[in-house]
Amino acid sequence: MFKKRAITSLVILLLAAGAVYGAPVLAATAPPVTPSSLTVSDPPNILAKPVPGPSVTKQLETRAKASWPWYITRAAGFVAAISLVLLMLSGIGFITGATFRFLEPLTAWATHKAIAYIFGISIVVHVVALLFDNYVPFTIAQALVPFISNYHEVAFGRYHFGSLYVALGVFALYFVLAIILTSIFWIDKKPHAWKVFHFLSYLTIIFVFFHALYLGTDLTHGIFRTLWVIFGIGVAVAVIYRLRRKVQVQ
């Protein structure tokens, strides 16, 4: 359902852009004009003719057909990043009580679960769409096994770490899978084990933060990169506050 809505929204956006910018490109040509031939009532005879080549609408259509996995991957990654931040803040808010200042307990818990579903679905869409991308081709093994991919290899001085940032995303995928499964099957039957696995969420957001910061197409520079750093700092502050509160209670 999420994938279908995302594709529908993309098509609508492209059609709207085509409606505005899709007119054929025109070139203005005029015969030579001399000062003596110009009068107030005799404007130059300007002729317009279309320039050969595909229209902007056709170009957008061709580009959309060739690049739709890339757009879906970006959109799903963006949704996953924002929903993870909201999950972390709301989850920490359960412990500190900050969440209940905005929502009643039952509503807060239902909202947290809904965001978790959105997060899980967006990750699946992010990975699956990546397998169809022609711009940065990934195999199933490269998408699921850390350090197999050679995309954006990382080196610090003499030390090489391969596709480190891709691997962080793969590790985060498995952390999320463990958190989701234990939340479904263990939250009531094995609350202590569920809580231990839930601590993986802290590692998950660290890995996702650097994965998105260095691989995200929209986070290379500008306002989105700045906002992502601010979100990361905000979550870090919330985690520190939660740890301080736990120490004070003990």
pLDDT of res. 165: 95
Q: How far is CA 171 from CA 140, 145, 207, in A?
A: 15, 9, 8
Inside any domain, residue 98: yes
Inside any domain, residue 54: no
Inside any domain, residue 56: no
Closest CA to 75 of 122, 115, 16: 122
Structural domain including 162 reads 69-249
- 25: exposed, middle or buried (C-beta count within 10 Å: 0-12, 13-18, 19+)? exposed
Q: Looking at the 3D structure of the chain, how many domains does it have?
A: 1
CB atoms within 10 A of CB 22: 17
Inside any domain, residue 53: no
- Confidence category of residue 173, pLDDT binned at 50, 70, 90: very high
Kindly state the helix (H) or strand (E) to which residue 217 belongs, with its residue range. none
- The answer on pLDDT for 241 being more than 70 is yes
- Confidence category of residue 63, pLDDT binned at 50, 70, 90: low
pTM to 2 decimal places:
0.71
Mean of pLDDT over the chain: 80
Q: Which residues contact 212 (CB under 8 A, 6 or more apart)?
A: 77, 81, 219, 228
Q: Is the dihedral of CA 7, 9, 10, 11 positive or negative?
A: positive
Inside any domain, residue 170: yes
Inside any domain, residue 85: yes
Inside any domain, residue 37: no
pLDDT of res. 48: 52
Is pLDDT larger for residue 218 or for residue 163? 163
- 40: exposed, middle or buried (C-beta count within 10 Å: 0-12, 13-18, 19+)? exposed
pLDDT of res. 116: 92
Range scoring the smallest mean pLDDT among 16-25, 51-60, 205-214, 236-245: 16-25
Inside any domain, residue 60: no
